[in-house]
Amino acid sequence: MPWSVHDIPEQTGRIAIVTGANSGIGLETARALARKGAQVVLACRNEAKGEAARADIMRGVPQAQVEFQLLDLSSLESIKTFAEGFAAVHQRLDLLINNAGIMMLPSLRRTVDGFEQQFGTNHLGHFALTGRLLSTLLQTANSRIVTVSSIVHRSGPLHFDNLGAEKSYSPTRAYGYSKLANLLFMRELHRRCRQASSSTLSVAAHPGSTRTNLQQYKPSFRWMMSLPFTAQEPPAGTLPTLYAATAQDVAGGDYYGPQGLFELTGPPAKAYMSKHAKNDESAKKLWELSEQLTGVTCVI
């Protein structure tokens, strides 16, 4: 039988943070973990939507331990405040699901810190968040960090001289950069965890073709995904993330996605990773650049 949410091991006693948990993949990830007994922090940038997501989960899972905490991944100050607030209350962190993202903004926008919005949010925001939570993750036995990437990571290599749209801006290219960066970050974090003999696993997943509000800026995507068999709904799209987060046979550096045609839909399985995502020199260079840009030095 294909792997499903029913195969998630018991999560009672474990603490999880899910970024972007107010809708889509993030909401379904949080719901599934809460249903299995995890204490889940919904890390969202909009308080009203975050509280609505919490209420939605509680209606279906009355015994759930779910809380909302404000987090804007496009703001380094917000990330610092969130991480400090979490550490003041919690002494352990079993799961960090780096899920939140924005996709293919039609025109160039910058974060409050001056980064191109997609690279700044999807990669640098999660890099800074992970870095600020890393000491707690490392002291929690068998913790996992799941970074959500995309099929679009395959679109090409990382051009370090244009990561901030210094030369030109393309919605698709900028999104592709951020999703490739997610995988390079995951692999470099895995290398460092292994080098430190840590039990913390750094892994990644992608949802294939899943109908969420990420496609709001791409009408052509919305049209394609409305066709039969070309996309799946969020409960199915979240399965690779949940597998990476909870399955017993997952190893550091693994990458999961749907096993169907072109990895668009289907139950979770090992996913294809481009040669650019496996470039160790790019991973190290990106890590060093990310530390410089965010001012966050990771403790590993």
Q: Which residues are catalytic?
A: 175
Q: What are phi and psi of 21, to 5 degrees?
A: -90, 10
Instruction: Quote the CA–CA distance of 42 and 59 in Å, as a whole number.
Output: 16
Which residues touch 177 (CB under 8 Å, ≥6 apart)?
A: 118, 119, 123, 158, 159, 163
Any idea of the CA torsion for 207, 278, 113, 81, to the nearest 10 degrees? 70
Q: Do 93 and 40 contact (CB within 8 A), yes or no?
A: no
CB 215 within 8 A of CB 103: yes
β 268-270/255-258 pair status: antiparallel
Give which of 29, 40, 103 is closest to 68, Cα–Cα: 40
Q: Which two tokens stand for residue 198?
A: 């840590």
Helix (H, G, I), strand (E, B) or coil at 65: strand
Of 111, 171, 137, the C-alpha closest to 294 is 111
CA 291 to chain centre: 19
